[in-house]
Structure 1
Amino acid sequence: MKKQEDFIICRCENIYMSEIDEILRQGADNARELKLKSRAGMGFCASRTCGPFIEALTQDHEEAPTYINLKAQPPIRTVSIEDFIKEDAHD
């Protein structure tokens, strides 16, 4: 059961702050590791909502330039007109 003061960090994957705290206590020290262990940032929005918070929480914005920050991508993919025409032909 979640505590009343607990709040959701990642709405897409339903990850709470208490889960993030536990992963940090277990030794995760950067946003990438936190993302991989919690699945925060792996949902539909591709970390556009929770990514900046996780990076700030782990202070990755202060890391050396060799660190790769979380990558945000659009949640949609392009579909060609040709693909639509093929679908209509099958109906």
Structure 2
Amino acid sequence: MTFPPPTRREVYDAIFDPDAKKAPGPDGITFLVLRWAWWAAQEEFFLLISTCATCGYHPKIWRASIGVAIRKPRKPDYSQAGAWRVIWLKKCISKVLE
């Protein structure tokens, strides 16, 4: 499946709109690091994201995430699965591509 290529502005917004201190995924790379990468190699970064998006390719290594279980408040029995909420921490580069 192919998609229309993203504009440079769309890629820029995907990098610069989220909070720079947003929790990173398993690679530890934050949006702040991606912003530095954008300014250091803007053309290469844009071509990478644009090519992946246009081809419909999402690199497997970018799809890794960490699930963190958090207790829901005021539940009587935390031995039950429904008393927990799972938060998934995805890699920031994956969020940019999506």
TM-score of the superposition, structure 2-length normalised?
0.30
**Which structure shows the higher strand fraction?**
2
TM-score of the superposition, structure 1-length normalised?
0.32
**Which structure shows the higher helix fraction?**
2
Per chain length, whose mean CA-contact separation is higher, i.e. which structure has more relative contact order (CA < 8 Å, sep 6+)?
Answer: 2
